[in-house]
Amino acid sequence: MATCGEWIKKSACIGASLGGVAGFFYAAYIMATSPALGWTDVLDTMESVVVVIVCAVIIGSLCIGIGGLAGLVLGIVASPLSSFTKH
């Protein structure tokens, strides 16, 4: 049963990692292409970069939680299946 627990823990970590990275880059892309941000002079560019990074971190953090839960569910569902193939 320890292998099932390890499998579930690995699945949750992988899901959280993938969700966080994907959420960060998706949020950065969406915010960077927003027409509300200004990229014309240095101050507007610095402000826009800060806004993009802050929003990407916030959305990426939410996606870490969602990805962790998805990985947890996938690990719970897949762990009994992997134990059947070993027997």
pLDDT score at 85: 57
Q: What pLDDT, in 10s, does the model give residues 29-75?
A: 998 898 888 888 889 899 999 999 999 999 999 999 999 999 888 88
Q: What is the pTM of this model?
A: 0.76
Q: Is 40 helix (H, G, I), strand (E, B) or coil?
A: coil
pLDDT value of residue 81: 62
Predicted confidence at residue 17, as pLDDT, reads 92
pLDDT band at 6 (very low <50, low <70, confident <90, very high): confident
Tell me the two tokens of residue 81. Answer: 């299946």
Spatial contact of 74 and 11, defined as CB atoms under 8 Å apart: yes
Closest Cα partner for 16 from 52, 51, 61, 68? 68
